[in-house]
Amino acid sequence: MIYFPITCNILTRGHIECLEFLCKKDFVVGGLLTKKALRGYKKELVPWKDRKYILEHLDIYGYAIVPQNSLDPTENILGYECDAIASGDGWEKVETSAILKLKLKVINIKLKGERNGKKYSSSKIIK
């Protein structure tokens, strides 16, 4: 099972392409960062339940959206027994720590036309 931490403040083509790519590999647990997890990291633009609703209603199969209450994904990775973690726009320090600690398989998603993984970043779009 693949763990995919996700903020999804603004649903982008990148989110959809990442989920499509990952669901072809295995079942995906999407750890959707809650308002608590976002504190000090990013501003929550859309409430968690609305972001969850949007993600759950995409025409993609093979994933579940769960709350991630901390920037550290370790608790969810262990709770859902994931053996891999994926990122489409680079690794946060806390994710790198979880990878090393849990000896996870790493999936770096490179979307078509991307050079640095930030083409579809909502943070970049907001700026």
Every domain of the chain and the residues it spans: 2-126
Q: Rounded CA gap, 29 and 18, in Å?
A: 12
The per-type count for the chain, helices as H runs and strands as E runs, is 6, 5
Q: What mean pLDDT comes out for the span 33-51?
A: 94
Provide the pLDDT for residue 70: 95
Longest dimension (CA), the chain: 36
Provide the pLDDT for residue 127: 63
Q: Is the confidence at residue 119, as pLDDT, over 60?
A: no
User: Tokens 């608790």, residue?
Assistant: 75
Query: Which CATH number does 2-126 carry?
Result: 3.40.50.620
Provide the pLDDT for residue 25: 96
Provide the pLDDT for residue 123: 59
Q: Rounded CA gap, 4 and 46, in Å?
A: 19
Phi-psi region of 86 (alpha: psi -120 to 50; beta: other; left: phi over 0): beta
pLDDT tens figures, 50-106: 999 999 999 999 999 999 999 999 999 999 999 999 998 778 888 999 999 999 999
Provide the pLDDT for residue 76: 97
Q: pLDDT-derived band of residue 116, with 50, 70 and 90 as boundaries? A: very low
Q: Rounded CA gap, 86 and 53, in Å?
A: 21
